[in-house]
Structures are given as C-alpha cells and as structure tokens.
Amino acid sequence: MVFIQADLSLVKETRKIIEEVKTRFSALDMLIFCATKHSKEYTETAEGFELTFALDYLSRFILSYGLKDCLDKTDAPVIMNVCGSGMKGDVNWDDLQHKNNFVAQKVMMHGSRLNDLSGVAFIQNDTVGKIKYVLYNPMAVQTPGMMEVSGPMMKLMYKIIGKPVEKAILPIVKLLDNPPAPTLSAFRERKQLDLTMATCNQENAKRLYNITTHLLLPTAVASAKTK
C-alpha cells in the first residue's frame, strides 16, 4: 500500500498527485473520489477558489482527466464518483462558487449537481470509451464532516436515518467489482437512476466543462512557469 499526502483543495497539489502517481504506476484499475469537506461559511483557498467547490468538484475534475491515460491502459477501468447524484435543483451559473450568497447546505447540494454534470462531460470527451464512470449517492452517512456542518435538525436526521460508514460502503464495493455495462451510470444507494434526469443534462455538462477549463487556465500557466 502506498499513501501519498496532499491538500486536494489546491489545484497545484492535485496536479502534483497526478505526476506522483504516474511516476510510481504505469496503469490504474480504478479511481474512487470521496474527498469532501464542507464549510459553515465561505472559505477561500490560497488559489482563490471556494473551498467546497475546489475540493468536492475541481479536484475530481482534474484527477479524472489527468489520470485518464493510466486508466486506459487497463482492461476494465472504473471511476467511482461518490457524490449526491440525482439531487434535484438548478446549477447557479451566475455564481458557481457561491461567493455572493453562501449557504452551507445549498453549496453541498450544488457540488453534487456539478459532479453529475462532470461525469456526463467526461464520457462525452472520452474518445477511447473503456472507462466506466459511476456516479454514486450513498444518501445519509454518519461521517464526522457531515455532523460538523449540519444544523440541529439535519444532525438529528442523520442520527436517526444515517448509515454507519462500514455499511454505506458495501454497495460501492459491489459496483466496483461489477460495474454496469454503460460507460456512464448513476445510483442512489442500490437504485440505478435514469440518466435523462435534469442533473445529467448534456448541454449543461458541456457548458460546465468549458467554464471549468477556463477557470483552471491561470493555474495551468502558473504551474508551467514553476517547472
């Protein structure tokens, strides 16, 4: 087992992880995205991104494309994006990072919608077509992070209906062992979701991809100058 430490809320650290992984391994069987941390108030990283947006969405976006060639070298590669897939609501196109109106619970749900669209865009851009991309919503799980950011009513709900982590991961393990046939799939616990749902709109996925690549341009230039 190899442990590589990094602050995935920082783009430069996420890119270092990609280089480190490529140095150590020629191929990857799977990527599992679970890193998350929700803030009670607006918090900005040193690179100018809202923390939840940077960690929950940007890091996953960067890692999926940055390690794609390693995944394509294996026979049955899988990307598992553990998010809140299928959560209803609109994308806040005017303020993707909620810099003007930060509400912790709304920001958390918004990140899930961004990850749904990111999965759709990844498959749209994948010309090889080997990777199975699975969006997975575990629903309420009793993690320390969720209990920290949640209000009193949400904490009570999680204590009543929330699953312990060791139980919540069982469907994830099953999906990793036997991923669905389509290149993109989405699940809420054990129920497979219909990809015609609004949160997987293909035009919105293209729009978000273009916005994200534009947002990352300054960090790419800065990274190139330091090499």
- What residue spans define the domains of the chain? 11-226
Q: What is the mean pLDDT of residues 165-172?
A: 79
Query: What CATH class has 11-226?
Result: alpha beta
When mean pLDDT is compared across 117-131, 148-162, 164-178, 185-199, the lowest value belongs to 148-162
Top mean-pLDDT range of 92-106, 150-164, 213-227: 92-106
User: Is residue 116 within 8 Å of 135, Cβ to Cβ?
Assistant: yes
| % of the chain residues with pLDDT over 70 | 85
**DSSP SS3 for 179:** coil
E strands of 88-165, at which residues? Answer: 132-137
Average pLDDT, the chain: 88
**How does DSSP classify residue 54?**
I
